[in-house]
Amino acid sequence: MPSVAKILSIAGSDPSGGAGAQGDIKTFSALGCYGMAALTALTAQNTLGVQAVQPVSADFVSAQIESIFSDIAVDAVKIGMIGAVENVEAIALQLRRFAARNIVLDPVMVASGGHSLGGDRLMAPIRETLFPLARLVTPNLMESALFAGDRMPENPGEMRAIALKLHALGAPAVLVKGGHLPDGAAFDLLYDGGEFTEFSAPRIATRNTHGTGCALSSAIAARLGQGAELKQAISDAKVFLTEALKAGADLDIGTGHGPPDPFFALRATAVRPGGPR
């Protein structure tokens, strides 16, 4: 039987489908993987922002993860929104129990619209408990500053300094996502404990950016689960996200910031009523 990489998202739900577990599964699928999800929180959100958050209990988060690992050989794990302090230890216990590998931790703390997705109480537990389990931690500029207890980096040099701090705090490898730098290309910086590697892609002019951070970390997890080395997985994920942003620029989904289009390759060859186009 053909082998397919099986990737688990441990994240919150986004009912609008652009980010969170729903967005992660779309990315896994678009890259040829089998996607799964254990939900840590329910949200009421859309392209305009997050209206409400309801964390899932730690016991039920733990039960979901156990159900997956006790039955399915998981090749990689992406951790996104955690929702509550109690969920940090519940997640860590199960990942250690099942010797989970290729863990990509995308520590989602604040939604792009500014809505808190866990608050300050989550930072220390995530840093102390989940950083050491991860193969890669992927904070954006704001999240990197929160975890390092520093000001937000504003240029590549400051990104290097904060990546070193996060590595010293327990992250084996850190990808600081510089997508919100004010000028230039979409620039991300990897520190793997030995050297820095820079990743750059054209900045796409689009308002449809909802879930881009989720898509990047999910694509990295998918490629790691398929056997790619870390730098290659990040490079491939950057290419994927750039193409998804290009294709999604004209998507008419919602009245705010819509999502990129992870299915750009499939959509290009899709047959629609009236014939292919």
Neighbours of 60 (CB within 10 A): 14
pLDDT at 186: 86
Count of structural domains within the chain: 1
For residue 277, being part of any structural domain is answered with: no
- Catalytically annotated residue among 17, 18, 35, 211: 211
Catalytic residue among 214, 225, 238, 248: 214
pLDDT at 274: 58
Residue 202 lies in a domain: yes
Beta-sheet strand order (sheet of 49-55) = 49-55, 34-46, 6-12, 76-79, 103-105, 136-137, 174-178, 186-191, 196-201
Handedness of CA 61, 222, 101, 132 (dihedral sign): negative
Question: Which has the closest alpha carbon to 40: 9, 101, 83, 102?
Answer: 83
Among the options 12, 47, 212, 225, which is catalytic?
Answer: 212
| CATH of residue 54 | 3.40.1190.20
Catalytic-residue membership of 213: yes
**Which of the following is catalytic: 23, 27, 35, 177?**
177
Query: What does the pLDDT read at residue 100?
Result: 98
d(CA 224, CA 220): 6
Domain range for 136 is 6-266
In a domain, 60, yes or no: yes
238 is catalytic: no
Whether residue 271 lies inside any domain: the answer is: no
CA-wise closest residue to 174 among 187, 164, 182, 161: 164
Residue 179 lies in a domain: yes
- Structural domain includes residue 227: yes
Does the active-site annotation cover 214?
Answer: yes
The active-site residue, picked from 213, 225, 248, 258, is 213
Residue 179 pLDDT? 75
pLDDT at 277: 43
Q: Are 4 and 32 contacting, i.e. CB atoms less than 8 angstroms apart?
A: yes
The two three-digit tokens of residue 269, written as one number: 């060859």
Intervals of the chain under pLDDT 50: 276-277
Respond yes or no: is residue 212 known to be catalytic: yes
Q: Which entry of 209, 238, 248, 258 is annotated as an active-site residue?
A: 209
